[in-house]
Structure 1
């Protein structure tokens, strides 16, 4: 079994989507002065590697707490837009995909989709109650067409429209 970390490191001042809150990480306490170390974190809910709730782009749709945890983990596969998509497992696209593959994705009924998604496709997937993952890294380490187990659990944020995640792929089980 191998665990592949698909998560970008969150760091002070890291790049964010235009208009999103800046990332500020500071020291709140230190071991030397307080006997323990604590950092203060200030960032948007869509910072770094993150998951999007349906409410992120569609008013009145489900927020993170309303979506079953089973939609944030499970069997998945790295795919290309031209291949036949497996049914009812998570899909991670090896190349950028646009809204012209929406019908193909919907026919496969994935619980979640990730990779280089256009904003238009992301919005359409969320509207169809498919969770989306953004800003994943090291997807190229996953072989195309081979199943793995994915975990990308969000923080439990009240009315959360999205959340940073620690995204991992478990391969060779």
Structure 2
């Protein structure tokens, strides 16, 4: 069975504060040109997307340096749906080391897509991200960010910057963000998240599709 786990690229799609919004502008129309073409403007981290090391690491690898088969993952879903807004995902939430190459943190935060609450998502601690990297896991999440996203609700004890990104991307591990539709997926499944082929990209939107048995 297949399930689409991708948020749609719309003008109201949630973006990290300061990132460009998605815009769709008519370039050619049936009435004037006899065909339709739409100019699409967006950032490399729009919607459901994958981060390359180059995103946060000045000398990090670009997305196009990874073989295409890298983006077909053997995924393990980690259920952390009990987390409160801005609550960290720490070592006690991590699974026992097992086979696979991607940990998918299922926060349930995609239910808040399109609301202000979406920006106050749970996040990975630096230690949890380092554990993932040490065990050779890429990471995915159904929230905007693996690190805290700045909002007026930020807590004094939250980390500065993007330490979880550095732990993962700094060790050549990828991050997939803004997944959706994870409810009901088995603990183990395949996740394909093939990015747009953009030269020297720091990230790119993906079509994320889960594959699992009946």
Q: TM-score range by the shorter chain?
A: 0.7 to 0.9
Corresponding residue of 1:113:
139
In the TM superposition, 1:40-119 aligns within 5 A as 40-80=39-79, 81-95=93-107, 96=122, 97-110=124-137, 112-115=138-141, 116=143, 117-118=146-147, 119=162
- Name the CA shift for 1:109/1:87 in 2 (closer, same or farther; >3 Å): farther
Q: Is the 8 A contact 1:63 1:159 kept in 2?
A: yes
Q: 2-side partners of 1:82 and 1:130: how far apart?
A: 17
Instruction: Determine if the alignment matches structure 1 residue 172 to structure 2 residue 213.
Output: yes
Instruction: Determine if the alignment matches structure 1 residue 135 to structure 2 residue 134.
Output: no
Deviation per residue, 1:30-87 (Å, 9 max, x gap):
2233222211101110001000001000001110111122221131110242421323
Q: 1-side partners of 2:130 and 2:46: how far apart?
A: 29
Q: 2-side partners of 1:98 and 1:137: how far apart?
A: 21
- Name the CA shift for 1:13/1:102 in 2 (closer, same or farther; >3 Å): closer
Corresponding residue of 1:26:
25
Bigger mean CA deviation after superposition, 28-37 or 158-167: 28-37
3-state SS of 1:167 partner: strand
Q: Is the 8 A contact 1:85 1:105 kept in 2?
A: no
Corresponding residue of 1:151:
192
TM-score normalised over the length of structure 2:
0.72
Return the offset for 1:126: 0.6
The CA RMSD over aligned residues, in Å, is: 1.8
Q: Which of these residues, 155, 160, 164, is aligned with residue 201 of structure 2?
A: 160
- Name the CA shift for 1:88/1:13 in 2 (closer, same or farther; >3 Å): closer
